[in-house]
Structure 1
Amino acid sequence: MRWRGRRQSSNVEDRRGRGGFGSGLGKGGLSFPRGGGSGGIGGRGLIGLVAIVAVLWLLGVNPVDLLQGTLSPDRQTAGTRLPETSAQNQASAPEDELKQFVSVVLADTEDVWHELFRASGETYSEPTLVLFSDQVRSACGFAGAAMGPFYCPGDSTVYLDLGFFRELRERFEAPGDFAQAYVIAHEVGHHVQNLVGILPKYNELRQTLSEREANALSVRLELQADCFAGVFAYFERQRGVLEEGDVAEALGAAAAVGDDAIQRRTQGQVVPDAFNHGSSADRQAWFQAGFETGDVTRCDTFSRDDP
């Protein structure tokens, strides 16, 4: 991904080394997009998104559940990491470069979603992205780094410990800068869901569902965020910032964090009823659907089983 020397977002808040007690509470804000590609979100596209929200009457997300991470809720990292040592501090230069990378990717998501919302006559409300180490306090509660990246609708903020990128590369065997960009774009996809009313509806009604039903609907929620990440990648390609192999990196990450892949790795067997993010194949397929079309209305994971 061609990211060096490009605009960085001003919405990145660095709380690394602050023990997790930064403020960062409050904010909120609601809004919404066009799709690009053939469909867009203007006109009929926007109506399609309203229809998606109507379908979501069947849903309801608990923000505390989101703290489990929208990528890998059953990651087995035990506890939280110890405070940084002087040896760890020597690795700050690579992390500072990662911070710049994250800021560029977030800026790109802002550009894409601002344009999509504008095409629908709406205004996009930008999320904050908080970088933290070890643990962090959010409007959704207190979270450790073991929970992975997550989006909190209570403060419209994405939370990310940069150590997750190392785990993505080494433990999940999904290397590459666009694998990392996929992670960010997926979390921003949850922010878009929050803006258009999907997360609030999901949260409102989830408590009426059985665990099995809630898991099944959570899968559809996550696959839609994957599709939105694909839409983001479509526009990145249009802007000429993708390099050869970038899409393969994103698809590799989507496969690596599929529920079946994680269950096979951690428990030796696959239990589909326990899926809450989607299989590797489904995550790849929905990302690909967004990437091939750039059409947000193709991301209706709630009324169709396949892209």
Structure 2
Amino acid sequence: MRLGDGNDSDFIDRTGQSGGGSILGGGGGMLGLLIPLILSRFGIVGLLILGLGYCALSSLGGGGGLLTGGGAGTQQASGQSRLSPEMTRFLPAVLSSTDAVWTDAFRQSGTTYREPKLVAYTGGTQTGCGAGQAAMGPFYCPSDSNIYIDPTFFSELTRKFGAPGDFAAAYVIAHEVGHHIQNLEGTLDKAQAAQARAGEAAGNQIQVGVELQADCYAGVWAANAKAPDGTRALEPGDVEEGLRAAEAIGDDTLQRQAQGAVVPESFTHGSSAQRMNALRTGLESGNPASCNFSKV
């Protein structure tokens, strides 16, 4: 992808910090069954990839205390950054691009877009939803409207799951931004309420709809993303990279790899075909209204 420098984005680099606490500290919150469900069925590797969603961790007290940065621009938290020069440019550039696309989309609908922050960390970090760990994969915290990512996830996506490329990595971030859109729209609250009334299988289907809509929103962003010269940011091969990543993180593919069998009623993010279709729908339409995958 051809993206700008991202200097106007709310990007926070915590990769030089230590911390994070335990991986889970008790009860749920929004779709709180998600993490224990993945842990019990897929282990750490499954969790790493299926964490490409949003997590509601239990509050561990003052979890949002570290989120003190204000205003736009990259912020370096205390400690020496562990980001490569390439990643230091890439992460804020993707966030800035999503900000531009969604600010325009919300403006056209007569509303105002509130931009999220993207927090890069190493190993673990405190969040408004509790303690975050790299093993969770990238996640969005509705409580503080922040996206959290340990950039080593991208190496796992490339090496273990055969989904390399800058657009594959950008899709990961844009998916989390999709959950931020859902938070602003009230979809996450509706999903939480609907899941509270449903049994496990029906609750999983609600979660699948939420995740597929976020995939679609990622495609909408990519379809509308602009390069610094105003032309389309996508380059030849980018779409294929994104679809390959969506295929690699489908529930059926991961279940087949992890346990040799597929259990559709346990899906929480959608099959490979569903995830590819959702991303493709957003890419081809460029219109958020086409992303009617949510079942709430």
**Normalised TM-score (structure 2):** 0.79
Residue aligning to 1:47: none
- Tell me if the contact between 1:168 and 1:175 (Cα under 8 Å) persists in the aligned partners: yes
Instruction: Give CA deviations for 1:123-152 in whole Å, capped at 9, x if unaligned.
Output: 000001110110111111112111100001
Residue aligning to 1:10: 9
Within 2, Cα distance between the matches of 1:77 and 1:255? 16
Residue aligning to 2:271: 279
Residue aligning to 1:97: 86
- Tell me if the contact between 1:64 and 1:140 (Cα under 8 Å) persists in the aligned partners: no
Residue aligning to 1:299: 291
- Is 1:154 matched up with 2:143? yes
- Is 1:290 matched up with 2:263? no
Q: Which amino acid aligns with 2:236?
A: E
Q: Which amino acid aligns with 2:288?
A: V
SS at match of 1:184: helix
Q: Which amino acid aligns with 1:284?
A: M
Offset of 1:263 from its aligned partner?
Answer: 0.5
- Is 1:62 matched up with 2:51? no
Aligned residues: 255
Residue aligning to 1:215: 204
Residue aligning to 2:179: 190
Within 2, Cα distance between the matches of 1:276 and 1:21? 25
Residue aligning to 1:142: 131
Deviates more, 1:109-118 or 1:60-69: 60-69
Residue aligning to 1:180: 169
User: Which consecutive aligned stretches of 4+ in structure 1 deviate over 2 angstroms post-superposition?
Assistant: 5-10, 63-70, 73-80, 90-93, 236-239
Residue aligning to 2:44: 76
Instruction: Give CA deviations for 1:220-276 in whole Å, capped at 9, x if unaligned.
Output: 110000000010111127842211100100001000000011101111111101100
Q: Which amino acid aligns with 2:124?
A: Q
In structure 1, stretches of 5+ residues that fail to align are: 23-59, 81-89
Structure 1 pair 299/148, CA: closer, same or farther in 2 (3 Å)?
A: same
Over the aligned positions, Cα root-mean-square deviation in angstroms equals 3.0
**Normalised TM-score (structure 1):** 0.76
Offset of 1:61 from its aligned partner?
Answer: 6.8
Q: Which amino acid aligns with 1:188?
A: V
Within 2, Cα distance between the matches of 1:61 and 1:299? 25
Structure 1 pair 261/126, CA: closer, same or farther in 2 (3 Å)?
A: same
SS at match of 1:136: strand
SS at match of 1:234: helix
Within 1, Cα distance between the matches of 2:241 and 2:36? 24
SS at match of 2:294: coil
Within 2, Cα distance between the matches of 1:239 and 1:228? 20
Structure 1 pair 294/153, CA: closer, same or farther in 2 (3 Å)?
A: same
Offset of 1:10 from its aligned partner?
Answer: 3.1
Within 2, Cα distance between the matches of 1:75 and 1:113? 35
Within 2, Cα distance between the matches of 1:17 and 1:274? 37
Offset of 1:17 from its aligned partner?
Answer: 2.7
Structure 1 pair 263/77, CA: closer, same or farther in 2 (3 Å)?
A: closer
Residue aligning to 2:18: 19
Offset of 1:20 from its aligned partner?
Answer: 3.0
In structure 2, stretches of 5+ residues that fail to align are: 22-27, 49-79
Within 2, Cα distance between the matches of 1:21 and 1:9? 27
Structure 1 pair 155/271, CA: closer, same or farther in 2 (3 Å)?
A: same
